[in-house]
Chains A and B, each alone.
Chain A
Amino acid sequence: MMSFMKGRVLVVDDDTALAEMLGIVLRGEGFEPSFVADGDKALAAFRESKPDLVLLDLMLPGRDGIEVCRLIRAESGVPIVMLTAKSDTVDVVVGLESGADDYIVKPFKPKELVARIRARLRRSEEPAPEQLTIGDLVIDVAGHSVKRDGQSIALTPLEFDLLVALARKPWQVFTREVLLEQVWGYRHAADTRLVNVHVQRLRSKVEKDPERPEIVVTVRGVGYKAGPS
């Protein structure tokens, strides 16, 4: 097995049995889990434990998962993976729009969960000294920074990965499926809403006019590509 960074994982879930089980599985895989059961206390716990990843149940007492997600995202780009029982409702889209990087539908297999968590943690451990340009943006891949006219733009790691994936091959049109595989690490076709929502989020940060995108261009019926430099 490849060696992975042993990460701290904050589990935000009110179901104690599930939380405990998650703990068992995560510890078994070498992660350091910490737990919080209440939405109101989630932010405090997050600040205290400074996790590398947050596992967040959408249905929580107190503040709901969406709100918690938004609060965490407001102060950190840490990967957030949602746990949801409803894959087909708007909850997923709302969750993704509020800042979650990925979601996993209950009931899931432990291996599936671990794979998702590792996929989210993995990208932070491959620094490649590389400088890319896309549109009028300059991307320092190793330094994890995106600048326009010297001004730094704050992106979450996932949005950064998405932008880098597009910028590395500006001649190529990426289908949503390809992006899911490259950025999210899905082998099989998954929910393309992930891509749509995160492209929107990325555009809202990097585009001058998100209504008329120039950095991440939609190719109708196919997918996305990087705008001309």
Chain B
Amino acid sequence: MSGDSVVSGSGMPGDRPKRTVGRTAAGTRLRRLFEGGLLQGGVQGSPVLRLFLRWVRRPLLPVMRLWRRNIQLRVVATTLLMSLGVVLLLGFVVIGQVRNGLLDAKVRASQSQATGGFAVAKQRADEAAGTNGTATGTTPGTADGSTDGTAGADGRPTQNVIQWMSDLVESLSSGGAGAFDVVTLPVGDDSGGGRSPRGSGNVNPTSSVPSDLRDRVNSGTTAAQSYTRIVYSNGKDAQPALVIGKQVNDPNGRPYELYYLFPLTQEEKSLSLVKGTLATAGLFVVVLLGAIAWLVVRQVVTPVRMAAGIAERLSAGQLQERMKVTGEDDIARLGEAFNKMAQNLQGKIQQLEDLSRMQRRFVSDVSHELRTPLTTVRMAADVIHEAREDFDPVTARSAELLADQLDRFESLLADLLEISRFDAGAAALEAEPIDLREVVRRVVGGAEPLAERKGTRIRVVGDLQPVVAEADARRVERVLRNLVVNAVEHGEGKDVIVKLAAAGGAVAVAVRDYGVGLKPGEATRVFSRFWRADPARARTTGGTGLGLSIALEDARLHGGWLQAWGEPGGGSQFRLTLPRTADEPLRGSPIPLEPKDARRRRRPDGSGTPRTEKRATVPAQQSGGHAPALPPRAPAVPTADPTALPGNGNGARVVPRPTGPVRRPEERPAADPGADAGAVRRESGPREPAGPEDSTEPGEAFRGR
């Protein structure tokens, strides 16, 4: 028991979400079927069907959009539909009941009338049989009847019956006088002996009586009834009627069918009157309900629309917009709450704006207040620095330090002000179409002296075609200068490749170095303010620690990206991607972030270990003092394919090997596509960087010396 309850207890919560999921899934499926099928054209069927649906859909789309967007229309339409349904239902029920009531009365009256008539007919037949018998002298009896039938050939009895029948019909129908008609029909096809069909009041006897009623009448002796339409022989319109029939014997004792036809004209009239009244009333009700719904929804929707409009204006910056509040109802409460919200928002925004303005003002003031004394100090230091040859060594060195550190202080101050300008949102983009090759040339030219000191060669690839983008030349130059100088400083004397490319709506510049690289996770942290990869090393390189943060902000200001990639010991690549036009969103970059010559990509042909050794010799050669302008790895990087998009590159083409370039491309295709070999490679992954990194050390030591 307890187990059961536990199970059900645990089952219930599990069940419930499942059910909801099912319902929503069904709902979405329904909607998908509706929208997808009818509106979006997501039909799986034949193209012809799809074409047809598209053709149907096109004029429907504005209507559907109106339907989706206009709640008033939706409510009114729903109200109309539903009230129409209710009115129709009501109408059918009412009409049914009225008809039943009318017919019940009529049927009862008709039945009694018909019963009376049948009795009269029987009585007349008996009477006529009696007079006939005495007049002709034949003995009454059953045998008589049959004799009579055969003897009827002489004409007399038959004559009598014909006359009798006509009299009977006339007398029976005379009591009706339009309230009913009487019809006699012979049983079966026996139309002889005066039994030809007859009817009163121009009724067409045969076609007015349904055949299935005749069957029923003939199969029994009781009365039977049915509904029919009376067909008139004088051209009068057919009329609905109730027909009651019975098999009766004529004076000769032979059966015939006697029918009473009661026209339902009156009832029909009453019913159509009721129908018309109901229809009119229903139409009025539906229309009025629609109008009421429209009015009611308008009452609710108008303030909502007003609120929406005002909210839109608010969000567009018109903070003084308020809703008009009248009364004390829910709408008024909505308005009040809305206004309170707007008030608070305006207050907060005002406050933030004030703060931002103060911040900017403060920054500007600090800038001025700090800069004026700094200018004096700077000039004084320079004068002292100029004259240092006349000083004793200690003072001279002090003067040097003073001048150097003033430089650093200045750049730090400039960076700080720059970044606070970004923080205050005061940075403005002055974008115009520029050729990034020009910028790169200037930057490389500017970094040349530093590169010479470090023994690094800066190479530019992909500068055959113009790389034009709408950008702020000053900012882009600052970003690139930062990247190039960083690459040279951390490149350990190896080549630095600056690669340009343009594709689609984007241009990119990537700066690749082969220095210490980045540890996992550092690729994002490099952009943090005052972040230093290695606190011990950073002291020697004189950056402010804000360069990359500013560069990132500059890239963002352009709507562009600045991203870093690196592997320990394998160097790093920083990529700046800018949209070609200032207001275009970026979708991709023309240069892959991870370079083609990344170690992870170079490894795949299985000869990873030997190559690691080969690479390990790179710094060793340098330390050997051969002083090759390029480290041996450099030739492996002529990724001079300016249109290289992520994914369209062919590894074999882009990364020829330094040794055996003929052999490698053959191996590569076999190994490259197979990601299955990745497991093995990945296993050796963590171990591998250790090799070159260790071996880098001699090189570094050499350079240190």
Q: Identify the A interface with B (CB < 8 A).
A: 15, 17-18, 21-22, 24-25, 28, 59, 85-86, 88-89, 106-111, 113, 189, 221
Contacts and interface: CB of A to CB of B under 8 A. Distances in A.
B378 A109 contact: yes
Interface stretch (B137-145, B366-374, B393-401): B366-374
Given A85-B368, A86-B364, A86-B367, A107 B378 contact: yes
A49 B72 CA distance: 82
Q: Is the interface of A mostly helix, strand, loop or mixed?
A: loop
B382 A110 contact: yes
Contacts of B371: 85, 106-107
Contacts of A22: 379
Contacts of B376: 15, 17-18, 21
Nearest to B380: A21
Q: Which 4 A-B pairs have the closest CB atoms?
A: A85-B368, A106-B371, A107-B375, A85-B371
Contacts of B700: none
A15 B364 contact: no
Contacts of A189: 442, 473
B433 interface: yes
Contacts of B432: 221
B373 A17 contact: yes
A186 to B, nearest CB: 14
Contacts of A113: 379
A18 B367 contact: no
Nearest to B377: A107
A130 B376 CA distance: 43
Contacts of A15: 372-373, 376
Contacts of A109: 378-379, 382
B375 A106 contact: yes
Contacts, number: 56
A21 B364 contact: no
Q: Which of A15, A25, A88 has the most CB of B within 10 A?
A: A88
Interface of B: 364, 367-368, 371-380, 382-383, 410, 421, 432-433, 442, 473
A110 B383 contact: yes
A107 B367 contact: no
Given A59-B368, A107-B410, A25 B421 contact: no
A59 B375 CA distance: 15
Nearest to A17: B376
Contacts of A28: 383
A86 B368 CA distance: 7
Contacts of A111: 382
Q: Which of A111, A189, A221 has the most CB of B within 10 A?
A: A189
9 contacts: A18-B373, A18-B375, A21-B380, A85-B371, A107-B378, A108-B375, A109-B378, A109-B379, A110-B383
Q: Which of A25, A28, A107, A189 has the most CB of B within 10 A?
A: A107
Contact of A24 (B364, B375, B383): B383
Nearest to A25: B379
Given A18-B372, A18-B376, A107-B410, A88 B421 contact: yes
A9 B421 CA distance: 34
B378 A108 contact: yes
Given A17-B373, A21-B376, A86-B367, 16 more contacts: A15-B373, A15-B376, A18-B372, A18-B379, A21-B380, A24-B383, A25-B379, A59-B368, A85-B368, A85-B372, A86-B364, A107-B371, A107-B374, A108-B375, A109-B378, A221-B432
A13 B209 CA distance: 126
Nearest to A193: B430
Nearest to A13: B372
Contacts of B380: 21
B97 to A, nearest CB: 87
A107 B409 CA distance: 11
A183 B253 CA distance: 143
Given A106-B374, A107-B371, A221-B433, A89 B379 contact: no
